[in-house]
Structure 1
Amino acid sequence: MSQNWTEVIAADDVPQDDVIGVEIAGKDVALYKVEGEIFATDNICTHGHARLCDGFLDGHEIECPLHQGKFDIRDGRATCAPITENTRTYPVKIEGGRVFLAFE
């Protein structure tokens, strides 16, 4: 099955070693840039209703600003209590300096 790609933002608008939130295709998404690579996850923590873009990015982990649980942004895996449920990630591609995400 082919993926439908949605254009989101200019790749240069995602700050290095930081996170931003964007609304796209009716979804609240967090975009991260680490070591020049861009990752995308749902922006709402699975533990509490907090926006991950308001959290602290440390390497490939985002810390939720509400209860300090963490997710690995590469695969959405919950890595620190109190978070027990993984977050959703989205495929990312860069074309022509633009970020595209694939949604189901």
Structure 2
Amino acid sequence: MSFTRACGLSELPAEGALAVEIDGTPVAVVRVDGEVYALRDVCSHAEVALSEGEVYNNTIECWLHGSCFDVRTGKPTNPPATQPVPTYPVKIEGDDVYVSLKES
């Protein structure tokens, strides 16, 4: 599996998301309760950046219509979104966060 450096761990908010682009793919790197996750940074309902929304209870909320997605699975936890967003494997090496665009 091929991993690409997405950002530094120190760049991530303690509870929040950072928008990055890997090989032309928008990715939201999210930290929740000390864990780091990565998912496609596009809401499956309205096609806006999820990284601009709130992060809480292992979810990221789309700021436009309020759909929340589980950061671990990409599955929507409430409407109006009904389709999941892709999630990606993450590994941490030192202060570097690496993401593989192979869906997990």
- TM-score norm. by structure 1 comes to 0.93
> Aligned equivalents of 2:61 and 2:33: distance in 1?
18
* Counterpart AA for 1:42: R
**Alignment root-mean-square deviation, CA:** 0.9
Cα distance in 1 for residues equivalent to 2:95 and 2:18 = 17
More strand by share: 1
User: CA contact under 8 A between 2:28 and 2:39: conserved in structure 1?
Assistant: yes
**Could you tell me which residue of structure 2 aligns to residue 38 of structure 1?**
36
1:98 aligned residue: 96
**Structure 1 residue 61 corresponds to structure 2 residue 53:** no
The residue type equivalent to 1:34 in the other structure is V
Shift of 1:38: 0.6
User: Between Structure 1 and Structure 2, how many residues are aligned?
Assistant: 102
Q: Which residue of 1 aligns with 2:50?
A: 52
Letter in 1 for 2:27: V
Is there any run of 5+ residues in structure 2 with no aligned partner, and where? none
User: In structure 2, the residue corresponding to 1:82 is in which secondary structure?
Assistant: coil
In structure 2, what residue type is equivalent to 1:10?
A: G
Match of 1:75 among 66, 69, 73: 73
Please list every run of at least 4 consecutive aligned residues from structure 1 whose deviation after the TM superposition is greater than 6 angstroms: none
User: What CA distance in whole angstroms lies between the structure 1 residues aligned with 2:95 and 2:60?
Assistant: 24
Q: CA deviation at 1:59?
A: 2.2
Deviation at 1:96, TM superposition (A): 2.3
How far apart are 1:85 and its partner, in Å?
Answer: 0.1
CA contact (8 A) 2:17 2:29 kept: yes
Task: State the TM-score, normalizing by the size of structure 2.
Answer: 0.93
Q: Sequence identity, in percent?
A: 36
Q: Distance in 1 between matches of 2:2 and 2:25?
A: 15
Q: What residue number does 1:88 align with?
A: 86
> Counterparts of 2:28 and 2:83 in 1: how far apart (Å)?
17
